[in-house]
Homo-oligomer: A and B are copies of this chain.
Amino acid sequence: MVIVMKPQARKEDITGVEKLLKSMGFDVHISEGSERTIIGVIGDKRLLADTPLELLPGVDRMVHIVEPYKLAGRAFHPENTVIKIGNEEIGGNKVAVMAGPCAVESGEQLLNTARFLKSQGVGFLRGGAFKPRSSPYSFQGLEEDGLKILAEARDETGLLLVSEAVSERTLELAAKYVDVIQIGARNMQNFALLREAGRMKLPVVLKRGLSATIEEWLNAAEYIMNEGNYNIILCERGIRTFETYTRNTLDLSSIPSVKELSHLPVIADPSHGTGRWNLVAPMSRAAIAAGTDGLLVEVHPSPKEALSDGPQSLNFTSFARLMDDIRNIAGFLGRES
């Protein structure tokens, strides 16, 4: 960390900061510039996170040099993390596909979808039982009944299950049924939920928050890892921008960026990322070209009748075409799918 002094800071202000830091066990480098003095602090700066040095006389501001997360960073774990789930793995050479309806609506809808996805070679079935909807008057999900339907689909098809938890209690419930827990964008900074997810064993798909920076996203992963669960799959699902034609703005540059900063696998969700089914195929291809470890795609037997997010769901025909696309471009780029 670097402490930037004000232009008008006095000699005794600088000595004051120096003394305080030394008393806390830090080493200090003072560098008098032409306009300002800056003070470099040496030691584990995470210990300073809660000390408002800005309030000391003569101090202008603190500049953080080291990223605030540790376990999620490349420096801590230089190789890519590869997460094994059943016979699948995420973060290795294969481009994983997680697909299914936004919400579980009925046994028939889900089983039809699951059988179809199985026939397409998909590894993971996704479907929401608890739906975080912005209006209380929208369909909120089948809750535990939805989880039971998902479990039946797994029993029949062998697909691995991904489903969302929205709170401590729904996490406890979902963890009994599914293989991978999803934490949604609106809960990316629900720290109580993150901590709880860190105490269980299941892998977690952690979606990027609507207006979160990559650093905040990795900090959220750090919360989970700090409790002992290292199996985190980051998921880029679009951020909020001023654009209204698309529902969100899918930030594909976050994929190679996360790969530089972190060892964790990162996947993309072009369905939420765009909100338009006809943009799902071009953005899936683009995500693979940008280096994604997987795709999370909404598929529905009849999007017109979907109770949630129909406009961004593919029907079976479009999805089959997408799977061809994915296989082709992944193969061309030297990856399996």
Contacts and interface: CB of A to CB of B under 8 A. Distances in A.
Contacts of A310: 51-52, 54-55
Contacts of A322: none
B303 A279 contact: no
A161 B52 CA distance: 26
B249 A239 contact: yes
Given A168-B168, A193-B167, A243-B214, A34 B29 contact: no
B257 A253 contact: no
A134 B220 CA distance: 7
B250 A253 contact: yes
Interface in A181-214: 186-187, 189-193, 195, 210-214
Contacts of A135: 46, 49, 68-69, 219, 222
Nearest to A290: B286
B50 A307 contact: yes
Contact of A38 (B40, B168, B303): B40
A12 B282 CA distance: 30
Interface stretch (A92-100, A106-114, A116-124, A136-144): A136-144
A265 interface: no
Nearest to A254: B243
Given A139-B50, A289-B282, A190 B191 contact: no
Given A135-B68, A192-B167, A211-B242, A2 B63 contact: yes
Number of chain copies forming the complex: 4
B137 A49 contact: yes
Contact of A31 (B29, B226, B246, B274): B29
Contacts of A42: 31-34
A170 interface: yes
A319 interface: no
A90 interface: no
Interface string A4-29: 10010000000000000000000001
Interface in A39-91: 40-44, 46, 49-52, 54-56, 63, 65-66, 68-69, 75
Contacts of A49: 135, 137-138
Contact of A223 (B136, B246, B309): B136
Nearest to A166: B192
Q: Which 7 A-B pairs have the closest CB atoms?
A: A52-B310, A167-B192, A29-B31, A31-B40, A211-B211, A285-B289, A286-B290
Given A186-B189, A249-B249, 15 more contacts: A34-B44, A49-B135, A52-B304, A52-B311, A55-B303, A55-B304, A132-B189, A135-B222, A136-B226, A166-B192, A211-B240, A239-B242, A241-B251, A249-B253, A250-B253
